[in-house]
Amino acid sequence: MKKYLSFIILIFFGLICFAQNKPAGLTLPKGFTALKIAEGYGKVRHIAITKQGDIYVKLNKLIQGKGILYFKKESSQKYTLANSFGNYKGTGIYIKDNYLYTSSDEEVFRYHLNEKGEVTNTNNPEKIITGLPNKGEHESKSIVLDNNGNIYVNIGAYSNSCQEKDREKGSMGMSPCPVLEEAGGIWQFKADKNNQTEKMGTRYATGLRNVVGLDWNTQTNSLFVMQHGRDQLHDLFPDLYDTKQSAELPAECMYELHKGTNCGWPYIYYDHLVNKKIVAPEYGGDGKKSSNDYQNPAIAFPGHLAPNGLLFYTGNKFPAKYKNGAFIAFHGSWNRAPLPQEGYYVVFVPFVNGKPTGQWEVFANGFAGAVKTPHGAAHRPCGLSQDSDGALYVTDDTNGAIFKIDYTGK
Amino acid sequence: MNTLIIILATICFTIAFAQPKKTIPVTQSDTYKRGKEVYAKVCLSCHMVDGGGVPKLNPPLIKTDYVLGDKKKLIYIVLNGMTDRIPIDDEYYSNNMASHKDLTHQQIADVLTFIRNSFGNKASIVTIAEVKAVRGLK
C-alpha cells in the first residue's frame, strides 16, 4: 500500500514539474513559443498594449470592484499587475495615439495616457458614448478606431434569428425585423466628442447578428468584423435540418465593411459547404433557397466556433507569410452536438493584397486542455493584440489567463 | 488492517442482505430511461450532454436550487420557458429558453426525473400528477 502511495506521489510531482517546464501547454507551428504571463484574473476579455509593451485588459466580471487591469512589463517574460481601475464590467479595450478606449455594455470611455503609457485619469475618464442598448443578450460592445478620428462600436442583436418568440420551435421571423432599428450592426462615432448617444452616431453597417472580434485593416483602410452566426437550425426547424447540418451550419463569417454594408441577418445565413447565402427558415427558406442580396463574406469558417478576437498582424517578428494576415481567436462552440465541440483555438488566415487567400490554418491550439466543452475547458481564447516588438497576445475569459506567443525560429 | 477489512466486509454483507430488493434505483427506472431520451432530443443542445450548460449563455443543471428545489417552479419553467434576466447561482445567462408546452405530462415528468437524478444530482422523482397540477389540468 505504502509503495503505491509513494509511486502516486512521485507521478503527481512529476506532472507538476512537467507542467512547469511547458508553461503555456499550447501547440504552435515550428519556431514559435508560448508563455502564460498571467492567470487567475477571471473573465479577461479584450486586450490593448502600449508602445512601452505594458498591458491593459478589460474584465467582464469585476475583481475587487475594478474592471480594467494594468500589467507592467518587467522583462519580455515577466509582467506584474501594477494598477486596476474602472468600476464597470465589459469587453472592449483599444489604444489609439495617447488614449485608452474602453467599453461597458452600455457606454464607451476614454482615458488619457502619459508618455509612459500610464492612465492619468483613472477615476475621471471622458464618457464619449452613452445609453447604448443592453437587453442581456449579445450585449458586449466591442470597439476599434480608424486613422481618421472615428470609433466603431458593435451593437449586437438581442435575438437569435428575430423570431416572434425567440428560440421557440417553428416561430417565424418578424418582418421587417424590429431589432435592426437599434441593434444588429456597427455604429460609427467621433472618438473625441463626449456624451454621444446612439442616434448621434452613424449606422455604419447592418445585418450583423453579433460581432465580438473586429479590427481596422491598415492595408485596405477598412473595417473587418467576425460575425457570430445564428444558433439552433435543427432545434427550431427539425423538418428542414438534421442535427449534423445544424452542427455545421451556418458558417461563422468574416466581413469587410464599408459605410452602408448589409450582411443580411436575420433574413439569410451563409452556407460554407455550398458557398451560398441561404434564406433563413424563419423567412420562408427551406435550407436550399438562396439569395443574391446582401454582402458576401471575405472568408467563411465552420459553424458555431464563436470568433471573439480579430487581429491583423502588422509586426515584423513573425515570418513573412504572417505579415498583414489575420489572427482569429475562436472562443469555442457549444451547439455542435452530436458532433464534438470545436474551436478553442487561434486561427491564421494569410492575406494577399487585402484579400484572404482562403487557406486558413489552426495557429495555436490546446487552450481547452483535456475537455473541449464550454464549462470544462481550461482556457477559452477571447482577445488578441500585438506589441511593438511583434509578439502576439491571447486572452482567456475562463481562467483569466494571458498568453504571449513569440517567434524564436528554433 | 485485516481486522478492518473483515469488519467492513461484514457491514457490507449485512446491509446487502438486510435490505429487501423491493425498490429499484431511480436511474434504472423506465421513467429515467425515457427522460434521458427526451433530454437528448429537447434539452441537450443548450444544457450540454453532461448538464454543465454554457457559461454566460445557458445555465447548468448541476447542483442548483432551480433543479433540486421547488418542483412546481421547475415544471413551470419547462412549460413556459424563461426569458428573465435574473442571476442563477450568482451568474447571468443570456439565452432565452423557449416554452416546451408541446411536451406531454409524461415526457415532462420523465425528463425532470432524469435531470434531478443525473449529473451528480439526487432528488425525488417528478410525477405526472405534479406536472398536471402546474399545467392547470386535472
- Nearest chain A residue to B59 by CA distance is A375
- CA angle A267–A268–A274, rounded 5-degree value: 165
- pLDDT at residue A1 greater than cutoff 70: no
Task: Give pLDDT, residue B72.
Answer: 96
Residue B52 has its nearest CB partner, among A138, A376, A398, at A376
- CB distance B92–A136 less than 8 Å? yes
How distant, in Å, are the alpha carbons of A36, A150, A151, A392, B119 from that of A108? 29, 13, 10, 25, 41
Report how far residue B82's alpha carbon sits from residue A243's, in angstroms, rounded to the nearest whole number: 24
Residue A375 has its nearest CB partner, among B53, B92, B99, at B53
Q: Which residues partner with A307 through β-bridges?
A: A330
Confidence of residue A358 (pLDDT cuts 50, 70, 90): confident
Report how far residue A279's alpha carbon sits from residue A252's, in angstroms, rounded to the nearest whole number: 16
The amino acid at A295: Q
Preceding peptide of A338 cis, ω within 30°: yes
Task: Give pLDDT, residue B90.
Answer: 85
Mean pLDDT over B34-56 rounds to: 95
CB B28 within 8 A of CB B100: no
- CB distance A137–B94 less than 8 Å? yes
- Nearest chain A residue to B49 by CA distance is A337
A19: part of which helix (H) or strand (E)? helix A2-21
Burial classification of residue B114, based on how many CB atoms lie within 10 Å of its CB (0-12 exposed, 13-18 middle, 19 or more buried): buried
Report how far residue A268's alpha carbon sits from residue A290's, in angstroms, rounded to the nearest whole number: 8
- pLDDT at residue A253 greater than cutoff 80: yes
Which of A1, A60, A137 should be substituted to probe chain B, the one whose Cβ sees the most B Cβ atoms within 10 Å? A137
Task: Give pLDDT, residue B8.
Answer: 63
Report how far residue A32's alpha carbon sits from residue B89's, in angstroms, rounded to the nearest whole number: 41
Task: Give pLDDT, residue A20.
Answer: 37
- Nearest chain A residue to B42 by CA distance is A235
Task: Give pLDDT, residue B17.
Answer: 55
Task: Looking at the complex, report in whole angstroms how far the Cα of residue A167 sits from the nearest Cα belonging to chain B.
Answer: 6
Q: Return the higher-pLDDT residue of A6 and A109.
A: A109
pLDDT per position as a tens digit, A296-340: 999 999 999 999 999 999 999 999 999 999 999 999 999 998 899
Q: Return the higher-pLDDT residue of A273 and A24.
A: A273
pLDDT per position as a tens digit, A379-409: 999 999 999 999 999 999 999 999 999 999 9
Chain A residues touching B55 at Cβ < 8 A: 374-375, 398
Task: Give pLDDT, residue A266.
Answer: 98
Task: Give pLDDT, residue A296.
Answer: 98
Q: Return the higher-pLDDT residue of B2 and A379.
A: A379
- Which CATH code is given to the segment(s) B23-135? 1.10.760.10
- pLDDT at residue A231 greater than cutoff 70: yes
pLDDT per position as a tens digit, B101-115: 999 999 999 999 999
SS3 A292: coil
Q: List helix spans (H) across B1-138.
A: 2-18, 30-38, 44-47, 65-68, 71-80, 105-116, 128-135
Q: Could you state, in order of their start, the residue ranges of all structural domains in chain B?
A: 23-135
Task: Give pLDDT, residue A13.
Answer: 40
- Nearest chain B residue to A335 by CA distance is B45
Task: Give pLDDT, residue B23.
Answer: 78
Q: What is the CA radius of gyration of chain A?
A: 21
- CB distance A334–B46 less than 8 Å? yes
Q: Return the higher-pLDDT residue of B63 and A176.
A: A176
Note whether B120 contacts A: Cβ–Cβ < 8 A.
no
Task: Give pLDDT, residue A23.
Answer: 64
CB A338 within 8 A of CB A247: yes
Chain B residues touching A160 at Cβ < 8 A: 95-96
Confidence of residue A9 (pLDDT cuts 50, 70, 90): very low
> Cell 459547404 identifies what position?
A273
Nearest residue to A236 via CA among A126, A341, A145, A159: A159
Report how far residue A216's alpha carbon sits from residue A191's, in angstroms, rounded to the nearest whole number: 15
Task: Looking at the complex, report in whole angstroms how far the Cα of residue B136 sits from the nearest Cα belonging to chain A.
Answer: 22
Q: Could you state, in order of their start, the residue ranges of all structural domains in chain A?
A: 30-407
Note whether A36 contacts B: Cβ–Cβ < 8 A.
no
Task: Give pLDDT, residue B85.
Answer: 84
Note whether B95 contacts A: Cβ–Cβ < 8 A.
yes
Mark which residues 33-72 of B lie under 8 Å from A by CB: 44-46, 48-50, 52-55, 57-58, 60
- Mean of the per-residue pLDDT values of chain A: 94
Could you tell me which residues come within 8 angstroms of residue A308 by beta carbon, excluding any fewer than 6 positions away? A45, A212, A213, A226, A329, A330, A331, A381, A382, A383, A397
Chain B residues touching A168 at Cβ < 8 A: 81, 98-99
- CB distance B58–A334 less than 8 Å? yes
pLDDT per position as a tens digit, A154-181: 999 999 999 999 999 999 999 999 999 9
CB A140 within 8 A of CB A153: no
- Nearest chain A residue to B51 by CA distance is A375
Task: Give pLDDT, residue B89.
Answer: 84
SS3 A363: strand
Mean pLDDT over B39-64 rounds to: 94
pLDDT per position as a tens digit, A90-140: 999 999 999 999 999 999 999 999 999 999 999 999 999 999 999 999 999
Task: Give pLDDT, residue A345.
Answer: 98
Preceding peptide of A266 cis, ω within 30°: yes
Mean pLDDT over B4-18 rounds to: 59
Confidence of residue B87 (pLDDT cuts 50, 70, 90): confident
> Cell 461563422 identifies what position?
A252
Could you tell me which residues come within 8 angstroms of residue A249 by beta carbon, excluding any fewer than 6 positions away? A233, A241, A269, A271, A273, A303
Task: Give pLDDT, residue B112.
Answer: 98
Nearest residue to A275 via CA among A256, A298, A245: A298
- pLDDT at residue A81 greater than cutoff 50: yes
Mark which residues 244-303 of A lie under 8 Å from B by CB: none
Please count the residue pairs, one from chain A and one from chain B, whose beta carbons lie less than 8 angstroms apart.
Answer: 58
Q: What's this model's pTM, rounded to 2 decimal places?
A: 0.90
Task: Give pLDDT, residue B3.
Answer: 66
Nearest residue to A271 via CA among A292, A244, A251, A255: A251
- CB distance B55–A138 less than 8 Å? no
Preceding peptide of A176 cis, ω within 30°: yes
Mean pLDDT over A212-239 rounds to: 97
CATH of range A30-407; options 1.10.3720.10, 2.40.30.10, 2.120.10.30, 3.40.50.1970: 2.120.10.30
- pLDDT at residue B132 greater than cutoff 50: yes
Report how far residue A106's alpha carbon sits from residue A132's, in angstroms, rounded to the nearest whole number: 5
pLDDT per position as a tens digit, A139-149: 999 999 999 99
